[in-house]
């Protein structure tokens, strides 16, 4: 089947970006939302983004118009999907909203259409079972912002036809992105399974070791080669995103995460990170601001526990055959900006030292129990 027509449901943060990159790859795109004002705002953002690309000479003025005109904003669902080969769903991360969307979609869409959900945390198999054709349902997890982030996790559910997985992986490649196959529909998929628990661990480190966030963040940046500190990355991502992912992940699997109450506290206080001027850190304006981290501060902290938690979850993914080690490294590089792969760092720090640290932490819960793959590296 040749995909030509894409319908994106939801024109918010993710939807308008997915629509834009699809339009830039020559697809005819319909962007659907429930109110005209949302679509107007989304189309404005698309225009702004295309114009920026033209200012940087990445596309021509003619291409700005061509790509923009490849997207048709539509409110009526039936009209939106009448020619669709692929529907990408990017409506809010709320099971009941998605359930209603798939119910309505099933009524108006034809039987051949592929459904792809951009959900970050909901189980693909469960969502697929809400639809008339689970074999044509798949997870396609773009990262924010889709215009810039190269990574897309492709997650087949247990009923997804392998030909659909192939087709969607090729579609993602055609958008100039890197599809990484998440072979099993596990909580958090690949990147969030490593990233979200780390945010909680960083707060536990602060409690246990009585050091400042800047010191922990500096150690993470300079000793673990992260692009920024974990508290900084959490504020950049949004505390609301982290809180909701935490809720969803821990409600489905208690062992995947050890939630620290601080995340809920920040969320309840609406301290959502960079975008609200206050999260873990305080920010002056709504412009993106870096925290003052330094090698001098990094020298004051040993981030072995943080590395151990990341490695343990990474090891779980490999030992459960969710992804290959190579795909894991690639995903963490593209999704979290990790410059050095975790297992290389493990050798540098010493696997035995990391395992000892995790064993010491086991008094706080099974979450820290070292995974067999990690143990076998010793
Ligand atoms: N924001 C992120 O960083 C991020 C990253 C990766 C994946 N995701 C996932 O992408 C999805 C969308 O997230 P978002 O951040 O873009 O949300 P958002 O709230 O910015 O946008 C959702 C849009 O969907 C619209 N909508 C609501 N009901 C609808 C319906 N019935 N039909 C069509 N549109 C409808 C809303 O009006 C809104 O414009 C979620 O599943 C989320 O988990 C988000």
Q: What pLDDT, in 10s, does the model give residues 282-308?
A: 998 767 778 999 999 999 999 999 999
Ligand 1 pocket residue status of 17, Cβ below 6 Å: no
Ligand 1 pocket residue status of 34, Cβ below 6 Å: yes
Number of residues that this document lists for the chain: 378
Active-site residue, selected from the candidate residues 16, 141, 200, 260: 141
Domain 191-376 grouped into CATH 3.40.50.720: no
Query: 124-177, pLDDT tens digit by residue?
Result: 999 999 999 999 999 999 999 999 999 999 999 999 999 999 999 999 999 999
What spacing in Å lies between the alpha carbon of 261 and ligand 1's midpoint?
A: 26
Domain segments of the chain as ranges: 5-181, 191-376
Terminal Cα-to-Cα distance of the chain (whole angstroms): 48
Query: 232-241, pLDDT tens digit by residue?
Result: 999 999 999 9
The per-residue DSSP string of 220-253 comes to HHHHS--SS-HHHHHHHH-HHHHHHHHHHHHHH-
Residue with tokens 């909701």: 244
Task: Write out the two tokens for 163.
Answer: 């030909």
Active-site residue, selected from the candidate residues 109, 192, 312, 371: 192
Pick the CATH number of 5-181 from 3.40.50.720, 3.40.50.300, 1.10.3470.10, 2.40.170.20: 3.40.50.720
Q: Can you give the pTM of this predicted structure?
A: 0.95
Strand order in the sheet with 28-32: 71-74, 28-32, 5-9, 86-89, 114-117, 137-142, 151-156, 178-181
Ligand 1 pocket residue status of 97, Cβ below 6 Å: yes
Mean pLDDT of the chain: 96
In 29-83, where does DSSP find H-type helix?
36-55, 61-69, 77-81
Same fold, 5-181 and 191-376: no
Ligand 1 pocket residue status of 161, Cβ below 6 Å: no
What spacing in Å lies between the alpha carbon of 93 and ligand 1's midpoint?
A: 6
Ligand 1 pocket residue status of 7, Cβ below 6 Å: no
Query: 14-57, pLDDT tens digit by residue?
Result: 999 999 999 999 999 999 999 999 999 999 999 999 999 999 99
Q: Give the residue, by CA position, lying nearest to ligand 1 atom 9.
A: 119
Whether residue 119 has pLDDT greater than 90: yes
- The mean per-residue pLDDT over the stretch 79-105 comes to 97
Rounded to whole angstroms, the Cα distance separating 243 from 246 reads 5
Rounded to whole angstroms, the Cα distance separating 137 from 160 reads 6
């Amino acid at each position: 089947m040749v995909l030509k027509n894409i319908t994106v449901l939801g024109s918010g943060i993710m939807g308008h970006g997915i629509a834009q990159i699809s339009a830039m790859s020559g697809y005819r795109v319909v962007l659907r939302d429930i109110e005209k004002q949302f679509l107007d705002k989304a189309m404005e953002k698309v225009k702004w983004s295309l114009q920026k690309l033209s200012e940087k000479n990445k596309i021509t003025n003619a291409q700005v118009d061509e790509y923009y005109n490849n997207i048709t904003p539509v409110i009526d669902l039936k009209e939106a999907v009448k020619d669709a080969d692929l529907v990408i769903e990017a409506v809010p991360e709320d099971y009941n909203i998605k359930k209603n969307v798939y119910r309505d979609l099933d009524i108006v869409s034809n039987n051949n259409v592929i459904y792809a959900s951009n959900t970050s945390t909901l189980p693909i198999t469960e969502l697929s079972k809400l639809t008339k054709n689970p074999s044509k349902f798949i997870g396609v997890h773009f990262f924010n912002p889709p215009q810039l982030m190269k990574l897309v996790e492709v997650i087949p559910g247990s009923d997804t036809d392998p030909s659909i997985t192939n087709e969607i992986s090729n579609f993602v490649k055609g958008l100039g992105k890197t599809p990484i196959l998440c072979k099993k529909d596990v909580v958090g998929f690949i990147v969030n399974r490593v990233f979200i628990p780390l945010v909680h661990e960083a707060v536990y480190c602060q409690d246990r070791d009585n050091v400042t966030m800047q010191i922990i963040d500096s150690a993470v940046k300079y000793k673990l080669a992260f692009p920024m500190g974990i508290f900084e990355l959490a504020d950049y991502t949004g505390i609301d995103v982290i809180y909701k992912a935490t809720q969803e992940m821990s409600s489905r699997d208690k062992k995947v995460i050890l939630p620290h109450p601080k995340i809920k506290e920040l969320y309840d206080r609406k301290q959502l990170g960079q975008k609200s001027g206050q999260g873990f850190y305080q920010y002056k304006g709504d412009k993106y601001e870096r925290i003052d981290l330094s090698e001098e501060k990094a020298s004051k902290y040993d981030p072995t526990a943080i590395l151990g938690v990341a490695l343990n979850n990474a090891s779980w993914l490999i030992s459960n055959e969710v992804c290959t080690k190579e795909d894991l490294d690639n995903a963490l590089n593209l999704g979290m900006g990790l410059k050095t792969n975790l297992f290389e760092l493990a050798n540098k720090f010493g696997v035995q030292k990391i395992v000892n640290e995790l064993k010491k932490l086991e008094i706080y819960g099974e979450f820290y129990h070292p995974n067999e793959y990690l143990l076998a590296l010793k």
